[in-house]
Copies of this chain bind each other. A is one copy, B any other.
């Protein structure tokens, strides 16, 4: 509505500062002058790189580490064309700006935060490989071939032929074990990159991992956080997807994205041939044994790994039903029954509420303190800035939100989280008081940094409240807290305070082991120990022992076992990090040089 202003003569101060810094960096990098480059960073500074410089997911902390990283990689990476995107902003003494850049092999996005004229946080990410760009937009396939061809194969015939051949007369380059949301999203990225891939899943239909669970299950994260790659939910999608709806979405997604998805298929073993550089993966495909020989093997088996099955004296004599939470079918069969749920994290709460809704007599056994956050508070105070309708309206696309989140180094992330949870504690003080009055043992994490840090450090220890906490506060779900289980009696659970809880059903909501348990189960204990524990980064807090490792162990990046990868996390992480995992695999398939910088030691095997 306005006349075009005269050509701008001056940049805003924040923008000028970012432009100048990027120019200085480019000058130093072009001159291969590592000292000059590191001098642009503050003493306390962090360069987080997602495969652009390091072919790894790695954070270099401080000038020395940044210098070492550059010494090792600069010549090969040959970075160039750093350019600001949009306008920089400034708040609380921090100047923030988006940029793009190129490397010898690809194109990248990044986010820079300056304190004064020195970099505080610097994120570099690779988003595509030169010469291997995804065929999208104007580059998309033509589709139906115009012209006339004798005995043409139709799209359907070619698709059916490809499906019949792959895994039999043609070997996939990659096999993804596990076809939940993680495996499906990664499968879509590999498909778009032209990496022949089979996704193996034990269930009959995509989405069954959701469908088969208790009926009140739903996503605890809101829709803006949950998009899969490429195909966002339509704009009427509910904030919290019910389990069957997300299951149907996944099933449609597999079809629309044209994945080679083997349902009713279970990987039974895998071994790596160091000489041939090739896996032997044995799959039971609906009763047929198929042996695959991919070059890359990805476990997308759920970041929670294999269920922790507890061992208590007397378990074998229990007369009722008993199972791990992962096998809990829902409360239909337990109306009027006495149910004891051992555990007090997400699953325990969900299952207690589900049993109560079905008219069961439910007792939760809380063995140690738990962090509780109301879903609404989490959404409004912790997520809304990045993942909400308001964020979208403010131009924070899902892609941008993912990068902003990724730009905060783990070393200092808790500092951003602590005030959020302090605000939540204040807002919901009355709620927490009621819970404590009912005897519930609360915590906020070792350093009061709340839910997301607990999730990253240990993947457990919390419940996003969608209703069960009120049942506990009101005594509708009975609570025994601060006790442990000492013995299972034929009709009861015996606790460390000497009391007994009569039980027709025991649910062991006792959590999961590390994902490398899958390597132990399917490959060998030796390989599982070689790659070590997955998840956590050595924060030296409860269940995340040190030393400091700086990035989630083994996730989406090379492991100590060549050609073995772990993929997982929540929908946000799977969506974002599947990009880097897919590019790492594509680069190897195309024979690009992919030296991995910063492979750490393995300090923990489980």
A contact residues vs B (CB 8 Å cutoff): 1-3, 5, 8, 10-12, 15, 19, 84, 86-87, 134-138, 140-144, 146-152, 154-157, 159, 192, 215-216, 218-219, 223, 230-231, 234-245, 248-249, 251-252, 255-257, 353, 356-359, 375-376, 389-390, 392, 466-468, 470-471, 476
Contact = CB atoms under 8 A, between A and B. Distances in A.
6 contacts: A2-B87, A143-B218, A143-B242, A144-B466, A146-B467, A149-B357
A466 B146 contact: yes
A141 B239 contact: yes
Contacts of A257: 234
A240 B140 contact: no
A215 B151 contact: no
A85 to B, nearest CB: 9
B15 A11 contact: no
A7 to B, nearest CB: 9
A254 to B, nearest CB: 10
B1 A11 contact: yes
A577 to B, nearest CB: 20
A415 to B, nearest CB: 30
Q: A86, A140, A149, A215 — which one has the most chain B CB atoms within 10 A of its CB?
A: A140
A216 to B, nearest CB: 6
B256 A147 contact: no
B239 A137 contact: no
Nearest to A331: B151
Q: A215, A223, A242 — which one has the most chain B CB atoms within 10 A of its CB?
A: A242
A260 B134 CA distance: 36
* Oligomeric state, in copies: 2
A216 B476 CA distance: 63
Nearest to A251: B255
A161 to B, nearest CB: 13
Contacts of A152: 216, 357
A168 to B, nearest CB: 22
A181 to B, nearest CB: 16
B142 A240 contact: yes
A603 to B, nearest CB: 40
Contacts of A8: 1-3
Contacts of A87: 1-2
B155 A375 contact: no
Contacts of A468: 148
Nearest to A256: B252
A110 to B, nearest CB: 17
A235 B8 CA distance: 35
A255 B147 CA distance: 34
A358 B151 contact: yes
Contacts of A140: 223, 235-239
Nearest to A142: B239
Nearest to A146: B466
A144 B219 CA distance: 8
Given A1-B84, A138-B390, A146-B466, 14 more contacts: A2-B5, A3-B11, A141-B239, A143-B223, A143-B241, A143-B245, A144-B219, A144-B238, A144-B241, A146-B467, A154-B243, A154-B244, A156-B215, A230-B234
A466 B136 CA distance: 23
Nearest to A7: B2
Contacts of A19: 1
A229 to B, nearest CB: 9
